[in-house]
Amino acid sequence: MGSKIHILKSDIANKIAAGEVVQRPASAVKELIENSLDAGATSISVMIKDAGKLLLQVIDDGEGMSAEDALLAFRRHATSKIATAEDLENIRTLGFRGEALASMGAVAQVEMKTRTAQQDVGTLVRVEGDEVKEHGAVACEQGTVLSVKNLFYNTPARRNFLKSQQTERKNVTDVVTRMALAYPEVAWKYVSDDETILDLRPKFIEDRLKDVLGVKQFGQLLKVDEKTDFLSLQGFIGKPDFARKSRIDQFLYLNRRYIVNRAINHAVFQAYEHLLIKGTFPFFVLNLTVDPRTVDVNVHPSKMEVKFGNESQVYRFVLSVIRQTLAHHDLVPMMTVEGGIGTAGPDSRLRFSGNPAVQREGGWSAETMAIPGQTDVEELFRKARPATDGSRFTPIFQPPAERIIQQEQAGTPAAEGAGEGRAIWQIHNKYILSQVKTGLMIVDQHVAHERILYEKALANFENNLPSSQQLLFPQTIALPPDDYMLMQDLLPHLAALGFVLKPFGKNTVVIDGIPADVRVGNERKILEDVLDEFRNNEHQSTIDARDNLAKSFACKAAIKAGDRLKTHEMISLIDQLFLTSMPYVCPHGRPVVVKISIEELDRRFGRT
Ligand code: ADP
Ligand code: MG
């Protein structure tokens, strides 16, 4: 009896296999560029016609191939990059599977011209539908020219499967851009249907980013650079203001290979927690360097997926590096005047007395700007001294007895007693104004206190060292049944915050003590409000209970707009604000601090 199984002829096998490596013009371009980079090219030029369907060509000045290698390169599993199974565990090149050229040769008309530095004459190879049509000598530059014509000409199903011209072209553009960002030291040229899209000189990454994104956008980025013995992370991340509605501007590389990895993306995203408006995503260009032995890049033929030996370690590393980068930058929104008198020439001053309506035009807009050199924030960090009890935070308000005396004195303008020689004012019982080296800083007192209390609450949960004030007259309060149950659920966490509560049964609870930051007399309302707020937030399923409680407490216990503050209270508030890990945004993402530079004021008053 004959056998029903037979081995596929190589041309069919190659056609099938080709589908995994070369799915569309963009994947062919990616493979060709990887080959050029592996060949040590310093200049790579990519040309496509008709979104790469008619022609895609990659020209490099790399090491080239001998006449013999030029032919071998089209054979499946033919590679110069690995030889042994051990090599597979230690991949230092972009390619290693020996499939790309064989695949393209199976599903397109491919022409290769190549020459090494040692040869005087180059080699020409033409492969069509898995058949070598030509192999001979040709005059050419050192390096390799690979032209792929009529991709999928012999696999109509695959060809029909391609998306619109626009989409396919965009995919190619994305590939070239990713590679150009990863390899700034290489010169890149990218031409689509005779239109030059990119023409980039070799640069440092900073300048490459400026070329690709524009200088203005570059100003929105923060540098990331951290090394340990096992891992390093370098690149740039966007300031929170620069976040986008989609994830398009996220470039993640592993050993300079563009990868897609949800865990690491999540780590970056997590570091921005509370800094981003909901539904927006941070910009980043990050390269993670790891020992190739600790990662498997051979998960999928496209080599875009990777498997880390220790993913949670990498996750924590990325999270902490990005967090630190964000925390160490001055993200204070800077007020600037858009257009109008701010930016016009000196003559514009004369129009100052014109129609007031025109004056208002353009208005104020908050825009984040990097503050060069030593920042005021560093100054504030220095001034903010840790409390004597070792904790970073002290209550903004004094103990009750002292408060009474202060209340009597209330009404003294805070401005007079610029305590500790610091100029500080409260306006409209809502904002705190303070002079800083580069201008004027305005703080929203409520959100500032919210940020302080939030971090304090988190720290309390962590250390379980509540600081509470005993109530002279314990309060017995009756709660609605569901609040009572919620209170019981949260009892240990509420205790960590500093609430000393004794459930009494029948929906009543005795409040014996309250967090040190809560004003006596408000305890009942604050407890009720916190439970309310907690319930409101519960629908946002992502928040965990402790974080929710910390946020709810911070929001409800913080001083309000309308609360009058004394000078020392303002100073204490500002000092503590700058001891938090993220002074510029409240736990809900609202800005806390806004700055007006002295230059801006000078411009406004026509002093420039
Ligand atoms: P892989 O890159 O996985 O080794 P390819 O099919 O992409 O497999 O390429 C096969 C071989 O051809 C490579 O290993 C390399 O030696 C050679 N080669 C391909 N492209 C180039 C190039 N642009 N310059 C020099 N050598 C190349
Ligand atoms: Mg390759």
Q: Which H/E stretch holds residue 343?
A: helix 340-343
The candidate with the shortest Cα–Cα distance to 458, out of 548, 576, 572, is: 548
Q: Whose CA is nearest to atom 2 of ligand 1?
A: 95
* Higher pLDDT pick, 276 / 51: 51
Query: What share of the chain has pLDDT > 70, as a percent?
Result: 84
State the Cα–Cα distance between residues 80 and 95, nearest whole angstrom. Answer: 9
Which of 27, 30, 32, 38 to mutate for ligand 1's pocket (most ligand atoms within 8 Å of CB)? Answer: 38
Q: Is 124 helix (H, G, I), strand (E, B) or coil?
A: strand
Q: How do strand 431-436 and strand 439-444 relate by DSSP bridges? A: antiparallel
Cβ-based burial of 354 (10 A; exposed 0-12, middle 13-18, buried ≥19):
exposed
As a dihedral over the C-alpha atoms of residue 184, residue 189, residue 192, residue 195, rounded to 10 degrees, the angle is 120
What pLDDT score does 392 carry?
56
Query: What share of the chain has pLDDT > 90, as a percent?
Result: 50
* Higher pLDDT pick, 587 / 76: 76
- Section 348-362 average pLDDT: 26
Q: 240 and 329 in contact (C-beta within 8 Å)?
A: no
- What is the Å distance from ligand 2's center to 159 Cα? 22
Q: Which H/E stretch holds residue 288?
A: strand 284-290
C-beta atoms surrounding 84 within 10 Å: 8
State the Cα–Cα distance between residues 333 and 439, nearest whole angstrom. Answer: 13
State the Cα–Cα distance between residues 206 and 221, nearest whole angstrom. Answer: 10
Contacts of 370 (CB under 8 A, 6+ apart): 219, 329, 330
What would the 3-class secondary structure string for 45-94 be? EEEEEHHHCCEEEEEECCCCCCHHHHHHCCCCCCCCCCCCHHHHCCCCCC
Confidence category of residue 543, pLDDT binned at 50, 70, 90? low
* Higher pLDDT pick, 9 / 175: 175
- What is the Å distance from ligand 2's center to 48 Cα? 19
Give the pLDDT confidence of 429-467 residue by residue, as tens digits: 999 999 888 889 999 999 999 999 998 998 898 888 888
* Higher pLDDT pick, 391 / 561: 561
Contacts of 38 (CB under 8 A, 6+ apart): 62, 81, 93, 94, 95
Which of 81-85, 272-276, 287-291, 434-438 is least confident? 272-276
Radius of gyration (C-alpha) of the chain in whole angstroms: 32
* Higher pLDDT pick, 311 / 407: 311
Ligand 1 nearest-atom number relative to CA 96: 3
* Higher pLDDT pick, 296 / 540: 296
Q: What is the pTM of this model?
A: 0.65
Please state the separation of Cα 325 from the chain's center in Å. Answer: 10
Confidence category of residue 16, pLDDT binned at 50, 70, 90? confident
Contacts of 236 (CB under 8 A, 6+ apart): 205, 209, 221, 222, 223, 224, 284, 285, 286
Phi/psi zone of residue 589: left (φ > 0), alpha (ψ -120 to 50 degrees), beta?
left
The pair of three-digit structure tokens given for residue 124, joined into one six-digit string: 């020409």
Q: How far is CA 407 from CA 6, 85, 403, 424, 568, in A?
A: 95, 79, 6, 19, 13
Mean pLDDT over each residue of the chain, to the nearest integer: 83
State the Cα–Cα distance between residues 496 and 545, nearest whole angstrom. Answer: 13
What pLDDT score does 382 carry?
53
Give the pLDDT confidence of 221-259 residue by residue, as tens digits: 899 999 998 899 999 999 887 777 777 789 999 999 999
Ligand 1 nearest-atom number relative to CA 78: 10
- Section 486-512 average pLDDT: 92
State the Cα–Cα distance between residues 573 and 453, nearest whole angstrom. Answer: 11
Question: Residue 150 pLDDT > 50, yes or no?
Answer: yes
The pair of three-digit structure tokens given for residue 304, joined into one six-digit string: 């875009």
Q: 231 and 288 in contact (C-beta within 8 Å)?
A: yes
Most confident of 103-117, 292-306, 354-368, 462-476: 103-117
What pLDDT score does 428 carry?
95
Give the pLDDT confidence of 21-72 residue by residue, as tens digits: 899 999 999 999 999 999 999 999 999 999 999 999 999 999 999 999 999 9
Confidence category of residue 393, pLDDT binned at 50, 70, 90? low
What pLDDT score does 391 carry?
53
> DSSP states of 521-542 as a string?
T-HHHHHHHHHHHHHHHHTSTT
Cβ-based burial of 42 (10 A; exposed 0-12, middle 13-18, buried ≥19):
middle
Please state the separation of Cα 358 from the chain's center in Å. Answer: 39
- What is the Å distance from ligand 1's center to 38 Cα? 8
State the Cα–Cα distance between residues 214 and 550, nearest whole angstrom. Answer: 40
- Of the listed ligands, the closest to the CA of 98 is 1
Q: 31 and 95 in contact (C-beta within 8 Å)?
A: yes
Ligand 1 nearest-atom number relative to CA 101: 6
Q: Is 406 helix (H, G, I), strand (E, B) or coil?
A: helix
State the Cα–Cα distance between residues 148 and 51, nearest whole angstrom. Answer: 12
The pair of three-digit structure tokens given for residue 220, joined into one six-digit string: 């929105």
State the Cα–Cα distance between residues 501 and 514, nearest whole angstrom. Answer: 9
State the Cα–Cα distance between residues 426 and 90, nearest whole angstrom. Answer: 62
Which of 43, 79, 116 to mutate for ligand 1's pocket (most ligand atoms within 8 Å of CB)? Answer: 79
Ligand 1 first shell, C-beta below 6 A: 31, 35-36, 39, 60, 62-65, 73, 78-81, 95-102, 144
- Section 558-586 average pLDDT: 89
- Section 296-322 average pLDDT: 90
